[in-house]
Amino acid sequence: MAKFLNTTGVSYHLEELIKTTKDRLILISPYLQFHKRVKDHLENLNIQKRDIRIIYRENKLQVEESNWLESQIGIRTSLCNSLHAKCYLNENEAIVTSMNLYSFSQQNNDEMGIHVTKEKDADLYNDIYDEVQRLLAISEEIRVSVKKVDKEIEKKTESTIKKVQENKDYSKSKLLTTKELSKLTGLSSRKVNKWFTDNKLMYKKEDDWITTKRGKETGGIEKNGQYGQFVVWPEDIAKHITE
């Protein structure tokens, strides 16, 4: 049986639905502005190679949202110009609601919705799933790109890379994987990888990590392993990651 949700209930169940996804997650919202916790959950799912699809209406994302989506190589985005529905679905449950995936809506609006589980109401869940598949079919898949550069982010990135490259005598520096850098810095592997992608030193393509030209100039070296290509970095770079 479907469960009625108020604003608080929608926010709670949406976060739970995202973070408990084991296979496929589909987020449908005309407007996007991700709360930090939602970003954290999506980044974690992306690292675990979950199938993540986002359908939205307006191709007018703020710079911060565009930069973040562009960095999440595994998340597929689609535009649907006629979209007004808001629906969030994984392999086990679905939420149909009035609330956009938008921080302002979650914090300031009066919203409502229904929560459906496949276990308790398979017919209703399947009806929602079929409509979601229709929306995916009529939507135009795009690759988010940043046309307007956030000057503050760019300035910070250039300053960071300049400091890293100023003293780049890597011949005496031990080469470490991001997992080893994680242990050295005390940060999670996800955050270490994010530092490299945010600073445009590497990016992920399918199962492989690829160094950019800037990454190679900073000492990154690609290696082949059992689970695909990875990158090793000079140990000295650790101090810059934690700055």
Residues 109-123 have pLDDT tens digits of 899 999 999 999 999
Mean pLDDT, all residues of the chain? 86
- Tokens encoding 205: 């393509």
What domains are defined for the chain? 3-142 (3.30.870.10), 159-241 (no CATH)
pLDDT at 238: 87
What is the per-residue pLDDT across 129-138, written as a single tens digit (0 to 9) for each? 999 999 999 9
> What sign does the dihedral 142-23-203-35 (CA atoms) show?
positive
CA distances from 23 to 27, 62, 169 (A): 14, 29, 44
9-18, 165-174, 204-213, range with the lowest pLDDT: 165-174
47-51, 140-144, 153-157, range with the lowest pLDDT: 153-157
Contact 117, 89 (CB under 8 A): no
Percentage of residues in the chain having pLDDT higher than 70: 86
Residue 67 has pLDDT above 70, yes or no: yes
At which residue do the structure tokens 């689970």 appear?
227
